[in-house]
Amino acid sequence: MRRRTLLGAALAAPLALGGCGADDDALTFFFQARPEEARVRLTLIEAFQRLHPEIKVRTIMSGPDPLQQMLTYCAGGKCPDVMMAWELLYAGLAERGVLLDLRTLLDREPAYAAELRRDSYPTLYDTFTYAGGQYALPEQWSGVFLYYNRQLFAAAGIVPPARWAEAWTFDEFLAATGELTRRTGERTTQWGFADAWVPYFSAACFGMNNGADWFTPAVDPTRTNLGDPRFAAGFQFYADLAVRHRVAPKVADQQSVSAPDLFRRGRAAMAMGGHWLYSEFAGHDDLAIDLTVLPRGPRGGPGAVTDVGCTGLSIAADSPRIEQAWEFVKFATGPVGQAIVASSGLFVPVLQSAMASPGFAAAHRAIGNLEVMTGGPAASRPLPVTPAWGKVSALLERSGNRVLRGAATAESLGGSCASDIDAVLSAHA
């Protein structure tokens, strides 16, 4: 997934790279980031070390497969002390006993724990609650929403919604994408919509916006709702944008030019993605951007929803530096660290106080509809949290992509695909 695989970035010299085998007593911090995101990490670390000069932090950059890399480290007895946690991956590590249940530390500080809970968004905090344990604390939110080109929208006379509670309908969204699509003969010179995320995940968001959860329950699910007619209709609506209505590039079309490139060049009026794209789109004189929300289907709620899309910080269960690691996790996920995140412009904070801070608004001056970001966590719905996610994802991708290519209908997902996924979930339970 694009926001979860920001891979292979070369870091600035102050960030140390390497494995977990160093003999020094530094606290090791494993994470994944692009270069500009790595610089925010460095800022956090420097601020932390000013408060705790006695705790040295050594960073370890993730490779292409962070889950396998962490398992390899930990199997060798050299697990990083602090690890970035992904909502779709951490459950497997928790079940293997790799991650510490942070309740053991939160229970020692009830006043701090209560205040953190009050300041947190429940959907984000609870994303990292699995099998009765708290295996990470959230550190950043991304979610997905729609970037739009203000000039192209103004020329078409379209004013998109600015709040999740006042979302446009599928019909309104389709009409807008049609107005914003331009063709010369058979050649499309401007698309109404382009997807900069993972297509079958995006289609699932459209399914959820038609009134059906993706999995039940979201944490440790026992079944998928691919066969729910509401979910299938939303999934199909997304697929039809490309294969039927031709207002969005087909999956094959994006192999030659990416959705972010289309949007940057003014060849797509909207791009679906998360905050990780903000630094790519903002600050360009020839690209005036703003944000709008996803559309809701006829069987959806009064407002639109997005996916949780957050990462957290975990502590290795066998870390010899649990106390130092806890101080770092508290700092990075608490008010001071989150204020740094808010003012960076590269991440969206996970605390309500940081989200409302002047620093966050100042870092996003290019955005008029800032409530799309600030209201996003409350409008988030969780992605499935299961140790069986690897197998489930492979089944979803194979069947979902057939629908997105127009080779099958979304109703077909309720057949063997749903049965196979339910069997995987049942076997795990």
User: 161 and 153 in contact (C-beta within 8 Å)?
Assistant: no
Looking at the structure, do residues 320 and 396 belong to the same domain, yes or no? Answer: no
**Is residue 56 a contact partner of residue 26, using CB atoms and an 8 Å limit?**
yes
Q: Write out the residue range of the structural domain in which residue 15 sits.
A: 2-142+308-355
For 212, what's the count of Cα atoms within 13 Å in the CB-facing half-sphere? 21
Q: Find the CATH number of the domain harbouring 350.
A: 3.40.190.10
User: Residue 398 has what pLDDT?
Assistant: 95
Residue 366 resides in a domain? no
Q: What letter represents residue 327's amino acid? A: E
Rounded to the nearest 10°, the torsion over CA 188, 193, 197, 198 is -70
Distance CA 96, CA 204 (A): 29
Instruction: Give the pLDDT score at 72.
Output: 86
Count of domains for the chain: 2
Confirm whether 361 is domain-assigned: no
Cβ-based burial of 324 (10 A; exposed 0-12, middle 13-18, buried ≥19)? buried
Q: Is position 377 within any domain?
A: no
Q: Please indicate, yes or no, whether residues 281 and 347 belong to a single structural domain of this protein.
A: no
290: in domain: yes
Contact, 127 vs 382, CB < 8 A?
yes
Residue 21 maps to a domain: yes
Amino acid at the residue 125: Y
Same domain for 39 and 110, yes or no, is yes
Q: Which two tokens stand for residue 216?
A: 């039940």
Judge if 128 and 255 occupy the same domain: no
SS (H, E, C) the chain: CHHHCCCCCCCCCCCCCCCCCCCCCCEEEEECCCHHHHHHHHHHHHHHHHHCCCCCEEEEECCCCHHHHHHHHHHCCCCCCEEEEECCCHHHHHHCCCECCCHHHHCCCHHHHHHHHHHECHHHHHHCEECCEECCEEEEECCCEEEEEHHHHHHHCCCCCCCHHHCCEHHHHHHHHHHHCEEECCEEEEECCEECCCHHHHHHHHHHCCCCCCEECCECCCEECCCCHHHHHHHHHHHHHHHCCCCCCCCHHHHCCCHHHHHHCCCECEEEECHHHHHHHCCCCCCCEEEECCCECCCCCCCCCEECCEEEEEEECCCCCHHHHHHHHHHHHCHHHHHHHHHHCCCECCEHHHHCCHHHHHCCCCCCCCHHHHCCHHHEECCCECCCHHHHHHHHHHHHHHHHCCCCCHHHHHCHHHHHHHHHHHHHC
Q: What is the pLDDT of residue 5?
A: 38
Tell me, yes or no, whether 314 lies in a domain. Answer: yes
Do 151 and 223 belong to one domain? yes
Report the candidate in 197, 200, 347, 188 with the shortest Cα–Cα distance to residue 265. 188
Closest CA to 120 of 381, 427, 406, 378: 378
Q: Are residues 193 and 292 in the same domain?
A: yes
282 and 413 together in one domain: yes
Q: 45 with 103, same domain?
A: yes
Per-residue pLDDT tens digits of the chain, which is 429 residues long: 344 333 223 222 233 334 444 446 899 999 998 888 888 999 999 999 999 999 999 999 888 888 888 888 888 888 999 999 999 999 999 999 999 999 999 999 999 999 999 999 999 999 999 999 999 999 999 899 999 999 999 999 999 999 999 999 999 999 999 999 999 998 999 999 999 999 999 999 999 999 999 999 999 999 999 999 999 999 999 999 999 999 999 877 766 679 999 999 999 999 999 999 998 999 888 999 999 999 999 999 999 999 988 999 999 999 999 999 999 999 999 999 999 999 999 899 999 999 999 999 999 999 999 999 999 999 999 889 999 999 999 999 999 999 999 999 999 999 999 999 999 999 987
327 and 273 housed in the same domain: no
What would the two tokens of residue 51 be?
């408060």
Residue 244 lies in a domain: yes
The answer to whether residue 363 sits within a structural domain is no
Please check whether residues 54 and 157 belong to one and the same domain.
no
| C-beta of residue 424 within 8 angstroms of C-beta of residue 270 | no
> Are 173 and 263 found together in one domain?
yes
Provide the pairing of β-strand 129-130 with 133-134. antiparallel
pLDDT of res. 382: 86
CA–CA gap between residue 210 and residue 417 (Å, rounded): 20
**CA 32 to CA 180: how far, in whole Å?**
36
- Terminal C-alpha separation, the chain: 26
Nearest one of 367, 366, 206, 212 to 294, comparing CA atoms: 206
Q: How far apart are CA 167 and CA 99, in angstroms?
A: 39
* Residue with the two structure tokens 């719905």: 381
